[in-house]
Structure 1
Amino acid sequence: MKEKRSIIIVALIVSIVLMFAKFSAYFITSSNFILTDAAESIVNVIASAFAFFSISLASRPRDVNHPYGHGKVEFFSVFIEGTLIGIAGITIVFKGTYSLFFPHEVQKILTGAIIIGITGAINGGLGYYMINRGKKLNSITLEADGRHLITDMVTSAGLVIGLTLMYFLPYPWLDSGLSVIVGIYIVVTGYKLLRKSIAGLMDEADFTVVNDIVNILNAQRKVEWIDVHNLRAQKYGHELHIDCHLTLPNYFDLNRVHDEVKLVDKLVNRNANVKTEFFIHTDPCLPNCCHYCSMPNCPIRSEPKNIDIEWTMENVTRNKKHFEQ
């Protein structure tokens, strides 16, 4: 968690410095096109500040009021960031459209292009670093902030190209027209972040995560684990919570059942690369399970095994034993 906070603090400091650099470029050139990047840099600063707050809150241990921890705040952080990006993009589109009809003179274009190019390169390097660390640390906030910086880098690259065109093609409408295009791109980026945050807040199924868990269980399943069903996964920041039903032989005593449940927990936590909390409900096997059960020397078997059922996301997530599929 200390590493997450350190990365966000660095991102916040860099964002403040680059914001002043971009506004300097705007005041030098009076370019609406550059203003699009400068306006978005304000969002970078606010987003990094809120990301620092959310990561600090998410690091708090679970308590009576928050039995699953505070990790959900990271989705709220992404929601705020996406909203701010969207507002900035809409504002840029309106201002650029207005300036298409009432253009003004742009000056010292190459100076502005150099400043924007440098800020874009810095944001790109920092953004890629934050995305990689965010994935490794399972932090949606770091990853979202990093993608925002990558968006800033792409925007800056487009600005440099556009400013170069403006230098050689001095059309009055070109500055505003390009700013509208960039504004639309920023709006789309904000929408994607909003979509991702709402999916997390609404506990939308993350099929990639569920599929990874199913593959781990399927690859290392034991004969005692007759079937797994009603598997559901929820992400709370850097932690994953899973509940499922595990069918075991009905003649196992409570100690044996506990050992098998604990083994499933250890297996996933060792291989899933994400801290996972399991809530496993155990079901006793039924006679209808025999035809796909591999348990050797079973004292209650009613029929021989005649089929292998591979665990897939489809049959593991259903609230039914596999013979009911």
Structure 2
Amino acid sequence: MQPKKKAILVALCVSVVLMLAKFGAYFLTHSNAILTDAAESIVNVLASSFAFYSIYLATLPKDENHPYGHGKVEFFSAFLEGCLIAIAGIIIVFKSAYNLIFPNIIGQLFEGAIIISATGLINLLIGYYLINTGKKHRSITLEADGKHLLTDAVTSAGLVIGIILIYVSGLVWLDSAISILLGFYIIYSGYKLTRRSVGGLMDESNMELVDKIVKVMQDNRKDPWIDVHNLRAQQYGADLHIDCHFTFPYYFDLNQVHHEISLIDKIVNTHVAHDTELFIHADPCLPGCCHYCSMENCGVRQHQFTGHIPWNTENATKNLKHFDQ
């Protein structure tokens, strides 16, 4: 079984077991704060189920209807997970606010705290496992599910502290107050996850990734690569697509241009931790390029070389040759 599928299947099975344990703790204590954690565990199960399906789709090969592959389904999976988290948080806040006014009887908090502590520790371990696997195999779905479980672990830790305070002080209203605070934290976590996934669905530039790509090109720059501009990067699951314009000497024939483009492709795929597909538009040099072109023995040079213009995110992403910027 593929590592990504194995990881999310482990998370799904564990989520089901932990959900049952948390609801057992709620029926034991009748605590709103514990119900908060149990309700979020339902989201864990639903999210992991859809995540498993989205990873299955993302691993399918490109086809006629999906020439860029199926990787973007992972952004949709993360979006759905973020929405489910936020909805769970909203329901928790309203339910807890009601019980703050009309409190219910709670008991056996010590036993409940032990159960929640155990589930929180397990979520912490599984969360780190998913995040590490997601980073290794470049899966936003696994990272999102892992971060969700880490959020759940933090929620459980806060919940255990709250249960201990209630147990020691005897202040029943703290149960609902703590639940409301945890509900707002859950809503914020859902918002952050949704915001990131919407950016991916809308092809928002990953500027950290663009910075890395430009740095790789700058560090491995060759004399015929006069400038690079109009660079854009889009991520489709684990795959990366880059399109840009490279300026080459205008007297290069197609074989020479093809050689340079193939070299750029090889260098980027060697240094960037994604399977990268490049679409490079070749531009011919103009007299204005001579000042920063270091081609030796150039028979058509009209101006002396004065020095390279360092490539950075600002000038590489503009749709202008560098002498126009």
TM-score, normalised relative to structure 1: 0.99
By how many angstroms is 1:64 displaced?
Answer: 1.2
Counterpart of 1:164 in structure 2 is 164
Runs of 4+ in structure 1 off by over 3 angstroms are none
Q: Check conservation: 2:23, 2:35, Cα contact below 8 A.
A: yes
- Distance in 1 (alpha carbons) for counterparts of 2:254 and 2:161: 69
* Unpaired runs of at least 5, structure 1: none
Paired letter, 1:96:
S
By how many angstroms is 1:2 displaced?
Answer: 0.9
Counterpart of 2:88 in structure 1 is 88
Counterpart of 2:279 in structure 1 is 279
Give the alignment of 1:1-325 within 5 angstroms. Answer: 2-325=2-325
- Distance in 1 (alpha carbons) for counterparts of 2:49 and 2:298: 60
By how many angstroms is 1:78 displaced?
Answer: 0.4
- Distance in 2 (alpha carbons) for counterparts of 1:2 and 1:216: 30
- Distance in 1 (alpha carbons) for counterparts of 2:282 and 2:35: 60
Secondary structure class of the residue paired with 1:156: helix
Secondary structure class of the residue paired with 2:250: coil
- Distance in 1 (alpha carbons) for counterparts of 2:96 and 2:121: 25
TM-score, normalised relative to structure 2: 0.99
By how many angstroms is 1:63 displaced?
Answer: 1.1
- Distance in 2 (alpha carbons) for counterparts of 1:304 and 1:95: 74
Cα-Cα RMSD: 0.7
By how many angstroms is 1:104 displaced?
Answer: 1.0
Secondary structure class of the residue paired with 1:16: helix
Alpha-carbon displacement from aligned partner over 1:121-171 (angstroms, at most 9, x marks no partner): 000011011111111111000000000000000000001100000000111
By how many angstroms is 1:29 displaced?
Answer: 0.3
- Distance in 2 (alpha carbons) for counterparts of 1:20 and 1:75: 29
- Distance in 1 (alpha carbons) for counterparts of 2:225 and 2:290: 12
Secondary structure class of the residue paired with 1:171: coil
By how many angstroms is 1:288 displaced?
Answer: 0.6
- Distance in 2 (alpha carbons) for counterparts of 1:56 and 1:50: 10
Fraction of identical pairs, as percent: 62
- Distance in 2 (alpha carbons) for counterparts of 1:136 and 1:21: 31
- Distance in 2 (alpha carbons) for counterparts of 1:23 and 1:299: 79
Paired letter, 2:201:
L
- Distance in 2 (alpha carbons) for counterparts of 1:130 and 1:216: 29
- Distance in 1 (alpha carbons) for counterparts of 2:107 and 2:157: 19
Q: Check conservation: 2:3, 2:133, Cα contact below 8 A.
A: no
Alpha-carbon displacement from aligned partner over 1:187-228 (angstroms, at most 9, x marks no partner): 000000110010000001110000000010001110110000
- Distance in 1 (alpha carbons) for counterparts of 2:72 and 2:273: 19
- Distance in 2 (alpha carbons) for counterparts of 1:165 and 1:171: 8
- Distance in 2 (alpha carbons) for counterparts of 1:21 and 1:10: 17
By how many angstroms is 1:172 displaced?
Answer: 2.1
By how many angstroms is 1:308 displaced?
Answer: 2.1
* Unpaired runs of at least 5, structure 2: none
Paired letter, 2:181:
I
- Distance in 1 (alpha carbons) for counterparts of 2:194 and 2:273: 26
Alpha-carbon displacement from aligned partner over 1:52-107 (angstroms, at most 9, x marks no partner): 00000011111111111100000000011001000100000000000000001110
- Distance in 1 (alpha carbons) for counterparts of 2:14 and 2:83: 21
Q: How many residues are matched? A: 325
Paired letter, 1:235:
Q
Paired letter, 1:293:
C
Paired letter, 1:98:
Y
Secondary structure class of the residue paired with 2:111: helix
By how many angstroms is 1:184 displaced?
Answer: 0.3
Alpha-carbon displacement from aligned partner over 1:231-258 (angstroms, at most 9, x marks no partner): 0000000000000001001111110100
By how many angstroms is 1:307 displaced?
Answer: 2.7
- Distance in 2 (alpha carbons) for counterparts of 1:133 and 1:313: 29
Paired letter, 1:65:
N
- Distance in 1 (alpha carbons) for counterparts of 2:133 and 2:56: 17
- Distance in 2 (alpha carbons) for counterparts of 1:324 and 1:132: 44
